C-alpha cells in the first residue's frame, strides 16, 4: 500500500514539474528579452543605419556600401513602420558624450559585411549590431556562409533583411507592441 501511495505521489510530482516546466520557457524568454534588451524601450527614433564592407573583393563582386545601405533603410521602413529615421551620424559622438539620456533615445543599426574570394566558393560574414547611441551592441546577430559570385548580392541582402526582421520582432516585443 505504501508503494502505491509513493508511486502515485511521484507521478503527481512529476506531472507538476512537467506542467510547470512547459510554461517556463515562454516566461523565461520574456524576462530575457525584457532584461537584456530592455534598453531598446528608450529608443524614440533612429539616427544611424549603415552598411560597411570589408575585404578587397566586395566591390569587385558588385557590392556597394551605398546601395546596401539604401536597401537596409528600405527594409527598416518596412519592418519598423512608425519609427522615424533621420541621419544623425555626425551628432553621435556629441550626444553620447554630452547628452547621454538623449543618446539612449536615438537608435543605431549597423551591418558589417566581409567577403573573401572572387571565385567559388566566396565566403561571406554578415554581422548586425543594434542599439542606441550610448550602447550600440544591445542586440547582435551574425551569419557565416558561402556561395557563388552570381548569388553573393542576393545572399547579403537576404542576411540584412533577416536581421532587420528579427530585430524588429525583439524591438516591438520589448516595447509591448506585439
Please give the order of strands across the beta sheet that includes 84-85. Answer: 84-85, 45-54, 106-116, 122-132, 139-147
**Mean pLDDT score, 98-106:** 94
Ordered by where they begin, the domains of the chain are 41-174 (3.40.50)
Identify the CA nearest to 109 among candidates 88, 94, 123: 88
**Residue-level length of the chain:** 178
Give the model's confidence band at 101: pLDDT under 50 very low, under 70 low, under 90 confident, else very high: very high
From first CA to last CA, the distance across the chain in angstroms is: 52
| pLDDT tens-digit map of 82-91 | 899 999 999 9
pTM of the predicted model as reported, rounded to 2 decimal places: 0.79
| 2-16, 21-35, 40-54: least confident range | 2-16
Amino acid at each position: 500500500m505504501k508503494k502505491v501511495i509513493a508511486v502515485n505521489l511521484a507521478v503527481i510530482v512529476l506531472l507538476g514539474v512537467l506542467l510547470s516546466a512547459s510554461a517556463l520557457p515562454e516566461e523565461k524568454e520574456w524576462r530575457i528579452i525584457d532584461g537584456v534588451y530592455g534598453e531598446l524601450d528608450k529608443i524614440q527614433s533612429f539616427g544611424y543605419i549603415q552598411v560597411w564592407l570589408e575585404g578587397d573583393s566586395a566591390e569587385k563582386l558588385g557590392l556597394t556600401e551605398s546601395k546596401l545601405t539604401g536597401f537596409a533603410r528600405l527594409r527598416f521602413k518596412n519592418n519598423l513602420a512608425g519609427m522615424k529615421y533621420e541621419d544623425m551620424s555626425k551628432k553621435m559622438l556629441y550626444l553620447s558624450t554630452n547628452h547621454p539620456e538623449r543618446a539612449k533615445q536615438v537608435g543605431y543599426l549597423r551591418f558589417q559585411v566581409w567577403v573573401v574570394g572572387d571565385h567559388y566558393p566566396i565566403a561571406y560574414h554578415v554581422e548586425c549590431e543594434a542599439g542606441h547611441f550610448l550602447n550600440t551592441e544591445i542586440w547582435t546577430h551574425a551569419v557565416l556562409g558561402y556561395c557563388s559570385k552570381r548569388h553573393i548580392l542576393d545572399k547579403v541582402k537576404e542576411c540584412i533583411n533577416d536581421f532587420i526582421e528579427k530585430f524588429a520582432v525583439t524591438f516591438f516585443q520589448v516595447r509591448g507592441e506585439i
